Structure 1
Amino acid sequence: MKIAFAPLKVPVRRRLQTAAVLQWVFSFLALAPTCVLLFFYLLFTRFWLISVLYSIWLYFDYDKPARGGRRVSLFSGLKMWKYMRDYFPIKLVKTADLDPRHNYILGFHPHGVLVAGAFTNFCTYTTGFRQLYPGLTSYLLMLPLWFRAPFFRDYIMCAGLIPSDKESASYPLCKRGGGNAVVIAVGGAQEALDAHPGSYNVLLAEKKGFIKMAMEHGAHLVPVFSFGENELFDQVGNQRGTWLRWTQERLQAMMGISLPLFHARGVFQYSIGLMPYRRPISTVVGRPIRVERNEKPSAEQLNALHQLYMDELSNLFEEHKGNYGVDEDTHLNFV
């Protein structure tokens, strides 16, 4: 395979964009195990007190992720995230107002490989979420596993990430007065296995937990579709029914995390690597679906709201797909 190297003369702005995305990819793929190794390594050095003191801190702070986390506005507003936004670029598209007197569950589709659109739009201040939806605070859900990693848990909480278990996700929705928006990548890690360029498979047909949560708390539902999310990486062929897909699904069931075999470009060349392609992402936030509080919904009520949500997501996709290069004959496939 012929390697296409990047030119030597690249504007500083583009180099900074690449550096910003590189640190984000590293954080997503390797920072958690690095922090765990660092924690135990320090115990056997003259800096052992750092790990001991952190353990004491962790004992008293253990429940913080399940209590809304600890977002740091300074972190979310770092200029580094602007460079990351411009690398692709990423934009947030508003279609309707969201009344800050209510709480919301935003269903984010598709998951993609590294949920770049969800992180940039809802964990940083670079695409204008606070200006487009004044009075709302967003919380992006992430696998609880990552909040058990020392140091790393504090890092991701700074960006407004909270665990995806029911207790943690429900905490912001329990707050009276509204103003909270919980963002759920509904397809989860399993949907990442379908994140191929040109794929519009959405793992939603049997996903009703977030619907039930919305009904229990009276949180309005908002469908979100992120055009371009699946275009950032190529993935080794793993169609349903192949041995690779079977293996990936078994590992995902055991570990809770999926292992898509993806690749794109490198830092200094454009042919192979784990850096995403420079392809635009447009995250379209749909109209809210009003949900009345019902702590014990019947199966019929749950199924009816679930179907309404799928219909609204499909309508959102159909209404906007022409603006983002999707063929007229292409439709969402609910699996």
Structure 2
Amino acid sequence: MAIEFAPRSLPLERRLQTVAVLQWVYSFLALAQTCIILFFVLLFTRFWIISVLYGVYWFLDWDTPSQGGRRGPWLQRSVVWRYLRDYFPIKLIKTADLDPSKNYVIGFHPHGVLVAGAFTNFCTEATGFPDLYPGITPYLLMLPLWFRAPFFRDYIMSGGLIPSDKESAAYLLRKNKGGTAVVIAVGGAPESLDARPGAFTLLLKNRKGFVKLAIENGASLVPVFSFGENELFDQVENPKGSLLRRIQEQLQRAMGVALPLFHARGVFQYSFGLIPYRKPINTVVGKPIPVTQNTIPSNEEVDRMHKLYMEKLSELFEEHKTQYNVPSDKHLSFI
């Protein structure tokens, strides 16, 4: 295979964009592991006191992630995320206002491989979320596993991330009488195993926990479709029933994280690597679906709202797909 190298004469702006994406990919794939190793290595050096003091702080601060976390505006406004945004580029498209006197459960689709759109739009201010939705504070849900990594937990909390369990999301919706939006990549890690260019299959048909959460707390549901999310990486073929897919599914059940074998381009060449392709991502936020609060909703009530949510998500996709170069004969399918 002939390797296509990047031109030497690239503008500084593009180089900075690539560096921003490189650190983001590293943060997503290896920063937690690096922090864990650093924590234990420090214990056997003259800097052991750092890990000991952090361990005490960690013990005292254990419940913070599940109680709203600890946001860091300094991080969310960092210039690094503007370069990340412009690499693809990523845009946040508003279709309706969100009333800051109400709370929201935002369903993000599709998950993609590294949820680039969800992170950039809801964990940073690079795409203008505070200006588009004044008075609304978004919290993106992430696997609880990552909040057990020393140092790393503080980093992700600074971006407005909280554990993806019902208690953490419900805490925010109960505590704040308005202006809170919990953002859930509904398909989760399993959906990433089907994330490849041209894929419009969503793991949603039997995912109803986010709907029940919204009903129990009287939070409006907001469907979001991120066009281009699945175009960032290629993935090794893993059809259902194949040996690779069975191994991936077993690992996902055992560890809670999926391991898609994805690839795209490199830093200095365009032929292979783990850096995403420069493909545009357009994240369209739909209109809120009003929800009547019921602390003990029946299965029928949850099913009815879930069906309505899928209909509104499909309508959002159909309304905007041709604008973002999706063929007219392509439609969402739910599994």
- Structure-2-length-normalised TM-score: 0.99
Distance in 2 (alpha carbons) for counterparts of 1:321 and 1:179: 29
Cα-Cα RMSD = 0.6
**Structure 1 position 241, deviation (Å):** 1.6
What's 1:274 paired with? 274
Structure-2 separation of matches of 1:93 and 1:38: 40
**1:319 alignment partner in structure 2:** 319
Distance 1:41 1:126 in 2: 35
| Correspondence 1:90 to 2:84 | no
Instruction: Report SS of the residue matched to 2:293.
Output: coil
Once the 2 structures are TM-superposed, how far is the Cα of residue 240 of structure 1 from its aligned partner?
A: 1.2
1:299 is matched with 299
Match of 1:57 in 2: 57
Higher mean C-alpha displacement, 165-174 vs 43-52 = 165-174
Match of 1:112 in 2: 112
Please state how far the C-alpha of 1:92 moved relative to its aligned partner: 0.1
Structure 1 CA distance, aligned partners of 2:55 and 2:251? 30
Quick one: which amino acid aligns to residue 298 of structure 1?
A: S
1:1-335 pair list within 5 angstroms:
1-335=1-335
Task: In structure 2, give the amino acid aligned to 1:102.
Answer: K
Distance in structure 1 (CA, Å) of the matches to 2:281 and 2:129: 15
Please list every run of 5 or more consecutive structure 2 residues that lacks an aligned counterpart in the other structure: none
Aligned partner of residue 112 in structure 1, secondary structure: coil
- Residue 169 of structure 1, CA deviation: 1.3
Structure 1 residue 177 displacement after superposition: 2.7
Give, as a single letter, the amino acid of the residue that structure 1 aligns with 2:154.
D
Q: CA deviation at 1:246?
A: 1.2
Distance (Å, rounded) in 1 between the aligned partners of 2:83 and 2:38? 28
Aligned with 1:300: secondary structure?
Answer: helix
User: Secondary structure at 2:175's aligned position in 1?
Assistant: coil
**Structure 2 Cα separation of the partners of residues 246 and 320 of structure 1:** 35
Normalised by the size of structure 1, how large is the TM-score? 0.99
Corresponding pairs, count: 335
The alignment-based identity, stated in percent, is 67
Tell me the distance in 2 between the aligned counterparts of 1:232 and 1:167: 32
Tell me the distance in 2 between the aligned counterparts of 1:177 and 1:141.
19
Q: Tell me which moved more, 34-43 or 164-173.
A: 164-173
The separation in 1 between residues aligned to 2:59 and 2:237, in whole angstroms, is 44
Runs of at least 4 residues of structure 1 off by over 3 A?
none
> Counterpart of 2:91 in 1: which secondary structure?
strand
Quote the offset at 1:250 in angstroms.
1.0
Offset from partner CA, 1:97-121 (integer Å, 9 cap, x none)? 1101000000000000000000000
Q: CA deviation at 1:19?
A: 0.3
CA shift for structure 1 position 176:
3.8
Distance of 1:213 and 1:202 partners within structure 2: 20
Partners of 2:190 and 2:148 lie apart in 1 by 21
Where do 5+ consecutive residues of structure 1 fail to align? none
Q: Output the amino acid matched with 1:67.
A: Q
Q: Tell me how far apart the structure 2 counterparts of residues 279 and 67 of structure 1 sit (CA, whole Å).
A: 36
Cα deviation, residue 175, structure 1: 2.3
Q: Distance in 2 between matches of 1:53 and 1:241?
A: 49
Mapped to 2, the partners of 1:130 and 1:117 lie a distance apart of 16
Instruction: Measure how far apart 1:9 and its partner are.
Output: 1.0
Q: Which secondary structure state, in structure 2, belongs to the residue aligned with residue 174 of structure 1?
A: helix
Cα deviation code 1:48-106 (max 9, x no counterpart): 00000000000111100001001111110000100000000000000011101000000
| Helix, strand or coil at the partner of 1:119 | helix
Larger mean Cα displacement after TM superposition, 240-249 or 317-326: 240-249
Query: Counterpart amino acid of 1:82?
Result: R
Q: Secondary structure at the match of 1:197?
A: coil
Deviations 1:12-60 (A, max 9, x none): 0000000000000000000000000000000000000000000000011
Q: Which moved more, 1:59-68 or 1:240-249?
A: 240-249
Q: CA deviation at 1:156?
A: 0.5
**Partner SS state of residue 207, structure 2:** coil
